[in-house]
Amino acid sequence: MLSAMSSLVSVAVYRRRIGASLDRVWENVRDWEHLPWLHGESFASIALEEEGDFGWRARVGLRGAAGPSIDLALLTEGERRYVARTLAGPGVGTEIWTSLDPVAAHRTDIEVEFLVPDVAAKHRQAVGDGYIALYTRLWDQDEAMMQRRSWLLESSRSAPRAAEPLDLGPSAELEDRLPLRVSFGGRPVVVARCEGELLAFDALCPHALGPLDEGQLLLGRVVCPWHGYAFDVRSGRGCDAAKRLRLAPSPRVEEAGGRVRLLRG
């Protein structure tokens, strides 16, 4: 526990304009699941303890030789502010306050202040620089996810196109291009060889439209890099935490005459 004699010291303030709407930023802030996946170099695991209108609280595993973990609470403070507070573990008592200011439909200014308990004056610059570097990387990754999701949500409003047969070229040349992301009927799909079988599966995770074309494909399963949801690429069924989800129907792969085509399934 933080000593009653401890005092919080502001070690740095980070300011940035994010290319995403305020609603999209709040969606990201409340999305605790993505921490060990999108930010895998910083977070090793997360176990939710409680969530609600107040925000969420979880046990978060940190990357490091000792594998430390912290109890982290993310608490909303009105519509434009929230705080990430370390309740236990390394850095206990630390508070990171973020203010949000929407400046356009797809632009939000953020200001993040890092408050750390009992930091000696001679160490404040180094500690502050560390937080700035960390949050620059985290927001880089979050912004890319938010922008992709926004674009996909807006694109999905357009009418689907007819799924005409798609020629992928000679079989021998295709091997060097796998896994391959293509558009079929106006929807992205992945063509890959899985345990010797050439197949296609939907490139969009049904959970949050994550990029399955960037996910790990192993033993017939593809894992979304945003939240770790896994899917059987042959049946499209969700696995484990994603068992109630299913991939969109995928095209059929045809190999004939030395060429490969995608056809309606």
In tens, the pLDDT along 105-151 reads: 999 999 999 999 999 999 999 999 999 999 999 999 999 999 999 99
Residue 171 dihedral angles phi and psi, to the nearest 5°: -55, -45
User: Do 43 and 138 belong to one domain?
Assistant: yes
Give this prediction's pTM. Answer: 0.89
80-101: burial string, b at 16+ Cβ within 10 Å, e else: eebbbbbeebeebbbbbbbebe
User: Do 14 and 122 belong to one domain?
Assistant: yes
SS3 85: strand
| CATH assignment at residue 34 | 3.30.530.20
Which of 104, 90, 75 lies closest to 17 in space, CA to CA? Answer: 104
Tokens of 104: 């356009």
Residue 154 dihedral angles phi and psi, to the nearest 5°: -70, -35
Q: Spell out the per-residue pLDDT of the chain, length 265, in tens.
A: 344 446 999 999 999 999 999 999 999 999 999 999 999 999 999 999 999 999 999 999 999 766 799 999 999 999 999 999 999 999 999 999 999 999 999 999 999 999 999 999 999 999 999 999 999 999 999 999 999 999 999 886 655 666 789 999 999 899 999 999 999 988 899 999 998 899 999 999 999 999 999 999 999 999 999 999 999 999 999 999 899 999 999 999 999 999 999 999 7
Rounded Cα gap, residues 46 and 63, in angstroms: 12
User: Do 97 and 185 belong to one domain?
Assistant: no
Tokens of 55: 């925000």
State how many domains the chain has: 2
Rounded Cα gap, residues 182 and 203, in angstroms: 9
User: Do 171 and 151 belong to one domain?
Assistant: no
Residue 227 CB neighbours (<10 A): 20
User: Do 82 and 138 belong to one domain?
Assistant: yes
The domain boundary residue, chosen from 134, 155, 176 = 155
Q: Is residue 1 part of a domain?
A: no
User: Do 137 and 173 belong to one domain?
Assistant: no
Which of 211, 202, 213, 204 lies closest to 235 in space, CA to CA? Answer: 202
Share of the chain above pLDDT 70, in %: 94
Instruction: Write down the residue that tokens 């980070």 correspond to.
Output: 14
Tokens of 129: 């620089």
Structural domain of residue 254, as residue ranges? 166-263
| CATH assignment at residue 175 | 2.102.10.10
Orientation angle between helical segments 124-155 and 22-30, nearest 10 degrees: 110
Q: Is residue 73 part of a domain?
A: yes
The domain boundary residue, chosen from 98, 131, 155 = 155
Q: Is residue 160 part of a domain?
A: no
